[in-house]
Structure 1
Amino acid sequence: MTLLDMIPSLQPAMLPRLSPAIWPRGTEYDGAGRITLGGVALTDIADRFGTPTYVLDEAEIRARCRAYRKTFPQARVYYAGKALMIRAVADWVIAEGLSIDVCSGGELEVALSAGVDPKRLIMHGAGRSCDELTAAVRAGAGRIVLDSLTDIALLAASPSRPQPVLLRLSPGIDVHGHPAVRTGVLDQKFGFPIGSETAAEAVRRVLARPDLELVGLHCHLGSQIHDPDHYGEAIRRLVGEMAWIRREHHHLLTELDLGGGHAVAYRPGDAELNLTELADIVEDALDAACARHRFPRPAIAMEPGRAVVARAGVTVYRVMSIKQIAGGTTYVTVDGGMNDNLRVALYGAQYEPVVANRRPHGPWMTATVAGRYCESGDVLARDVRLPADLHPGDVLAVPCTGAYHHSLSASYNCVGRPPVVAVRDGCARELVRRETTADLLARDIGR
């Protein structure tokens, strides 16, 4: 018998702390020691919808949208749909005053099917087809970001409605992140290097087309940026480029899109971007750059995605087996893995899973949470602290999984992708159903 069994009143105080840095603000333990999200026990979701399942706290997403609107009241804030593009999320962010950034024909169709006003859409991305660009123009997308000279040529084949466009520039700023997400350096696949002849040629070509209206510049520095000074430097460089375009072409650009990349914490202690500090840096940099170049202050836009939805998401799994390698690692295998969370294999991302179905007490162990798929790199979390009495059937919850999990999910080993379930005010509802074997076979028409 443990101390908690002898003195039940100590149980709430002895429960492991759920860090507010990585869990939705409405997360708590109920009287039975179960983790609840939006008033719903995660074990109830596991029982009802199966595992793995992505769980989204609607109130958390809405609150983060409101924080952006409050902190940047004069800016156009686009939710970056690539983080998680489903119709319910599109509904929520639009209702909270944000617009939406899409980067493919598919994301465009999801937004339109959710009833989003096309004027509140911006499309960017590399390698878009003529059909995708044409669809954006025909839909009436508010802005299209030009990423290459080919984009300009492809838009020439689109309907002749005048289309507002922005030119994406790489400002030459290295945020020192993972190589896969450093998009502000000069030598990478996105946009035009600032100050290059190719960028100058793009400006000339766009201004020569009566069906294209060049309204501003766009940049994206990378992902997981926690130092707001990088955005200040981007403003200084891009306003200088806007001033050059005015001098060279007598054309005034009025918009500056700073992209996204706002860092969030995946584990307690991780650095994240402070919105108030970012707002101060943006204001100071705009004042200084515009004064230096005697340039009218442009309207600012930004594109947070991860920062809106990441912390609102929790993924629930069931433990399938526990294997102790003599003299080595303890592996806890769950019923998901790289199919529903590719970020660990792709970027080396780190998470902090916890037991969700009971209060853990007693001794702990260090273990690696492994996925079920046939790859040695299929790992969800390495060397994490879990209860020593963990057993098959326990439910594990992994916080901060709202961004780039459903979006990057796959059906490797012919295992269907998980459902997405929303919670709010004690109710759970399915937003995206689980992909079944029948769904996979419906696409296989080779016989």
Structure 2
Amino acid sequence: MAVTSPLSLPAHPDPELDAILRGGLPQELAYGFGGPFHLLLPDRFDANVAAFRAALDEAGVDGHVYYAKKANKAAAWIERGAVNGTGVDVASAGELREALGHGVRGENIVVTGPAKADELLRVAVLQGCLIAVDALDELERVIALAAAGPPARVLLRRLPPAQPHSRFGLDDTELATALERCADAADAVRMEGFSFHLSGYATQPRADLAGELVELCLKARARGLPADRISIGGGFAVDYATAEDWARFTAEQGPGHYHAGKTFTTGDFYPYHSPVAGADALREILAARPGGTGAPLAERLRAAGVTLLLEPGRALLDRAGCTVFRVQGVKDRGDYAILTVDGTSLSLSEQWFNSEYLPDPVLLGSGDDLDGGGDDGVDGPAVAACVGGATCLESDMLTWRKVSFPRRPRPGDLLVYPNTAGYQMDSNESPFHDLSLPPKVVLERTGGRTRWRLDRRPPV
């Protein structure tokens, strides 16, 4: 049988992270923790927030950025948000407690998610959070909870006409009923505007629906409702790899590139290259003409005096963290090797979607080399290897793909998976086999020094 050459998808270069990895810190942490760990870079979070704010300022649009907390459980992001005024998007009572407990003011929290629990709604109303109402019965529960206290701040979530089978939002009939109910219950509810949840990463559909929400605000005002803001949610793509590398990968990948002939279709994968990502995607949305005609969205927002709310998750965590595993064993399987590391695939959550986290892991020797060379300075021949987890499950594969390493990995070497802060590193983690959850290590760089501390929130 013909041997299939390994297929690579390198992440974008990150010289600052490379310098940290070369300094010996990963090896020290691996020794100290005795297992895998995650590195967090909160200054990257700050920079990503600043980029979104800059895009709003450039367009002359009043707006507010909320961090979608579901993207990563670490306290570090919430702590930074509390200091710099970034809001938080939460969807459970636990997430709301975490945000409030780390200093985020209720007025800077938006509560999303379907069929919210009464416990969540009660605290949200008392703390003055903005609640995205997803159903008529939920609106009634909010009104009842607010009857004896301050008015509840609400957005009405719109069912996207282009995605009529979505389980999120109010259709036309429900929306009309909700507006009438908000007007009748004005003492208990402050209806501040509209929101939507839209799947996918395309920018024009977001601009189209945002334009519709601006018009809905104007109609709601005619009924005496405040309606001065809209939320377009998240869905801002992250660009992990170059266009050339992504095009080559998607054109060539096939069963021969994976352990056990595993089959993936291109549609199974996150789009690891996006020509317009992060804050640039916001710029494109603001410059787009809703429906393809008339004034750009930014101009419509300004003219209507409507504030734009954003809820990015992954995009605020771009390059803000990586995940490190230690090689425990190496075995040969013909033309490739199988590595077993000291963690599980639950820490790389694309497997949750029966998919694969594709950016290449980087081999880091037991010294401080980043190119994977041996401590004796001799690289040796390149070796292809897949990466399995430390459990008794055949399906526990961190990387089904046969990745090319510059030499044969050895027990004690480290594998660094880049750019894993956004949804990868803790969305699906579990202490299976009584394995400890990987700790999160916060790196802070001041005065030319890099210092580390554990994230203040214990893993759960």
Question: TM-score w.r.t. structure 1 length?
Answer: 0.80
In structure 2, how many angstroms separate the alpha carbons of the residues matched to 1:355 and 1:140? Answer: 48
Instruction: Label 1:118 to 1:219 Cα distance change in 2 as closer, same or farther (>3 A).
Output: same
Please say if 1:104 is aligned against 2:111.
no
**Contact in 1 for aligned 2:314/2:422 (Cα 8 Å):** yes
Looking at structure 1, the residues matched to 458 and 224 of structure 2 have their Cα atoms a distance apart, in angstroms, of: 55
Query: Do residues 61 (structure 1) and 61 (structure 2) align?
Result: no
> Which structure 2 residues correspond to residues 131-210 of structure 1 after superposition, within 5 A?
131-141=119-129, 143-159=130-146, 160-173=149-162, 185-193=163-171, 196-209=172-185, 210=187
Equivalent position SS for 1:133: helix
- Kept in 1, the 8 Å contact 2:323–2:420? The answer is yes
Instruction: Report if aligned partners of 1:101, 1:123 keep a CA contact under 8 Å in 2.
Output: yes
Report if aligned partners of 1:290, 1:296 keep a CA contact under 8 Å in 2: no
Structure 1 pair 252–434 and aligned structure 2 pair: CA distance change class (3 A)? closer
Q: Name the counterpart of 1:78.
A: 66
1:275 to 276, 279, 288: 279
Partner of 1:12: none
- Residue 290 to residue 416, structure 1, CA distance change in 2 (3 Å): closer
For 2:140, the aligned partner's letter is: A
Contact kept in structure 2, 1:126 and 1:147, CA below 8 Å: yes
- Please list, as runs of the form range in 1=range in 2, the aligned pairs for 1:28-47 lying within 5 A after superposition: 28-29=18-19, 35-36=21-22, 41-47=25-31
Shift of 1:135: 1.1
2: CA distance, partners of 1:80 / 1:277: 17
* Contact 1:418 1:433 (C-alpha < 8 Å) held by counterparts: no
Query: 1:403 is paired with a residue of what secondary structure?
Result: coil
Q: In structure 1, the residue corresponding to 2:394 is in which secondary structure?
A: coil
Aligned twin of 1:4: none
The amino acid across from 1:42 in the alignment is P
Secondary structure of the 2:40 match is strand
Question: Alpha-carbon deviations, 1:155-174, whole Å to 9, x = none?
Answer: 1332431111001113234x
Match of 2:363 in 1: 355
Q: 1:214 pairs with 182, 188, 191, which one?
A: 191
Q: Is the 8 A contact 2:35 2:342 kept in 1?
A: yes
Residue 423 of structure 1, CA deviation = 0.9
Partners of 2:110 and 2:356 in 1: CA distance = 29
Q: Which residue of structure 2 aligns with residue 114 of structure 1?
A: 102
Distance change >3 Å, CA 118–CA 339, structure 1 → 2: same
- Tell me, what secondary structure is at the counterpart of 1:311? coil
Q: Indicate the residue corresponding to 1:397 in structure 2.
A: 416
Out of 204, 214, 233, the position equivalent to 1:259 is 233
Q: What is the rounded CA distance, in whole Å, between the counterparts of 2:91 and 2:352 in structure 1?
A: 23
> For residue 254 of structure 2, what is the aligned residue in structure 1?
none
Would you say the 8 A contact 1:419–1:433 is kept in 2?
A: no
Aligned to 1:331: 338
For the residues of structure 2 that align with 1:78 and 1:302, how far apart are their CA atoms? 6
% identity of equivalent residues: 27
User: Hey, what's the Cα distance between the residues in 2 that align with 1:402 and 1:130?
Assistant: 31
Equivalent-residue separation in structure 1 for 2:356 and 2:240 (angstroms):
8
User: Residues 374-426 of structure 1: CA distance to partner in whole angstroms, max 9, x if unpaired?
Assistant: 33332222232223411111111101111222243222233221111111221
Q: Which residue of 2 aligns with 1:430?
A: 454
User: How many Å separate the matches in 1 of 2:440 and 2:70?
Assistant: 16
Q: RCO higher in 1 or 2 (8 Å CA, sep ≥ 6)?
A: 2
Aligned to 2:250: none
Partner Cα separation in structure 2 for residue 228 and residue 88 of structure 1:
29
Partner of 1:421: 441
In the alignment, the residues of structure 2 paired with residue 70 and residue 118 of structure 1 have an alpha-carbon distance, to the nearest angstrom, of 24
Task: Answer yes or no: is the 8 Å Cα contact 2:207–2:297 preserved in 1.
Answer: no
Instruction: Determine the C-alpha separation between the residues in 1 that align with 2:422 and 2:301.
Output: 38
Q: Which amino acid aligns with 2:429?
A: S
CA contact (8 A) 1:65 1:96 kept: no
Shift of 1:132: 1.0
Q: Which residue of 2 aligns with 1:233?
A: 208
Q: 1:86 to 1:19 in 2, by over 3 A?
A: closer
Deviations 1:5-33 (A, max 9, x none): xxxxxxxxxxx998446x4x621247xxx
Pair 386,116 (structure 1): closer, same or farther in 2 beyond 3 Å: same
Which residue of the partner structure matches residue 32 of structure 2? 48
Q: How many Å separate the matches in 2 of 1:333 and 1:282? A: 47
CA gap of 1:374–1:221, structure 2 versus 1, over 3 A, is: farther
Specify every segment of 5 or more residues in structure 2 that has no aligned partner in the other structure, as ranges.
1-7, 244-271, 373-378
Specify every segment of 5 or more residues in structure 1 that has no aligned partner in the other structure, as ranges: 1-15, 174-184, 440-447
Measured at CA, do residues 292 and 105 of structure 1 come closer, stay the same or move farther in structure 2, by a change above 3 Å? closer
Distance in 1 between the 2:383 and 2:47 partners?
36
Report if aligned partners of 2:160, 2:196 keep a CA contact under 8 Å in 1: yes
Tell me how far 1:244 sits from its aligned partner: 4.7
Q: Is the 8 A contact 2:286 2:296 kept in 1?
A: no
SS in 1 for 2:144: coil
Cα root mean square deviation, aligned? 2.9
CA contact 2:143–2:152 (8 Å) conserved in 1:
no
The aligned residue for residue 379 of structure 1 is: 397
Q: TM-score when scaled to structure 2?
A: 0.78
How many residues align? The count is 395
